[in-house]
Amino acid sequence: MSKVGIRDVAKLAGVSTGTVSRVLNDHPSVTKELRARVGGIINDLGYLPDPSARSMRSKVSRLIGIVIPDLTNPFFAELVQSAEQAAANHGYNIIVMTSFDHAAKEADRIRQLTSRKVDGIILVPSNDFHTIKLPKGLPIVVVDRLMPGYSGIAADHRNGVRLGVEHLLKLGHRRIGFISGPGHSVPANDRLRGYLDAIEEADGSAAMAGPPLIAEAAFDYESGRSAGNYLLARARNERPTAIFASSDQQAIGCMRAAHDLGIPIPAALSIVGFDGIPLASMTTPRLTTVKQPIQEVAAAAVAVLLNKQTAPELDNPILFACELLKGETTSPPQPD
């Protein structure tokens, strides 16, 4: 009952190992009936092909690696989960690794994955990613945080943010703060540009009353809280009446900050987040946010790696549209 190999199946079926192999990989050149019989034996014996042997010969591991900055971030968790589903549909499995937003660790993870001989890598670059020397010949698709020079797939952050800011503008807000992403990363810039797009379109002068209302922050709760404190620490008539945060976690941290300062939401401050994580509908009050189509992004990434879909051109990423989810953190501004 221990190790049943392909030869056992072959013997019991009265065929050669070659035939069994062909059945296994449903090679077209096998009779229907023979395929059926051999298939039956395979099942009866509970035979499972050895992936190592298989991979050694075929040079295909049916493994794909995914490297993300932080699994604790619900957004990435959902990304990984979606990728796992998509991969499983094609008989592939996922190896996860965390870079902790640290370039050196990230490079190491990619090295590990390479030596693992995965068939491809889905990478969400760390914030201080500086063009790692990627192993040539190993398909890599950059996701969410696009990098110039790499084949990428992501949500359309720019237009997504614009959607959210336009919503605030329509409500009548004119001093709209913005918590941006960290550093000069592409997604941070994209989101910032979405903000600027909306502001400019709505007539820059009216919108930008007062000093710059932009704060830079990492995407986590705590950074959002600090940024919120910073933006809200000014006289009431100079303080933003609304804030757009570049992540839901930032937005939630910002809500904390507002609460600590005694600023009621949405009465005295409207907040819009970005990502659309499930938690957004559980905060008090419910967070208005821009939802990213994570599952679509993940599925597309997997499809590209498995050549089920043509890879996007360098510097011409595949983008998926975002959607505004109205919650309870937005309302018209109070008069000063």
Partner DNA sequence: TTGTATGCGTTATCAG
Partner DNA sequence: CTGATAACGCATACAA
Contacts with its own copies by CB under 8 A lie at 2, 48-53, 55-56, 61, 63, 70-72, 74, 77-78, 80-81, 84-85, 88, 93-98, 112, 114-117, 137, 221-222, 225, 249, 252-253, 255-256, 259, 278-279, 281-284
- What are the backbone dihedrals phi and psi of residue 16, each rounded to the nearest 5 degrees, phi first? -95, 160
Q: d(Cα 179, Cα 254) in Å, to the nearest integer?
A: 9
DSSP track, 238-282: TS-SEEEESSHHHHHHHHHHHHHTT--TTTT-EEEEEE--GGGGT
Minimum distance from residue 49 beta carbon to DNA (Å): 4
96 makes contact with DNA (CB under 7 A):
no
Which of these, 329, 244, 234, 247, lies nearest to 281 by C-alpha position?
329
Residue type, 326: K
Which of its own copies, DNA, none interacts with 237 (beta carbon under 5 to 8 A by kind)? none
Which of DNA, its own copies, none interacts with 71 (beta carbon under 5 to 8 A by kind)? its own copies
CB closer to DNA out of 13 and 280: 13
264 makes contact with DNA (CB under 7 A):
no
- The count of chain residues that interact with DNA, using the rule CB under 7 A, is 29
Minimum distance from residue 55 beta carbon to its own copies (Å): 4
Upper half-sphere CA count for residue 63 (Cβ side, 13 Å): 16
Q: d(Cα 166, Cα 242) in Å, to the nearest integer?
A: 12
Which of its own copies, DNA, none interacts with 255 (beta carbon under 5 to 8 A by kind)? its own copies
Cβ contacts of 13 within 8 Å, gap of 6 or more: 19, 20, 37, 38, 41
Minimum distance from residue 80 beta carbon to its own copies (Å): 6
Q: d(Cα 19, Cα 142) in Å, to the nearest integer?
A: 40
Minimum distance from residue 196 beta carbon to its own copies (Å): 28
Instruction: Please identify which residue in 58, 131, 284, 334 interacts with DNA, judged by CB under 7 A.
Output: 58
Q: Following CA atoms 158, 162, 164, 166 in sequence, which dihedral angle do they give, to the nearest 10 degrees?
A: 180
Binding residues (CB under 7 A) for DNA: these are 3, 5-7, 14-22, 24-25, 28-31, 34, 47-50, 53-54, 56-58
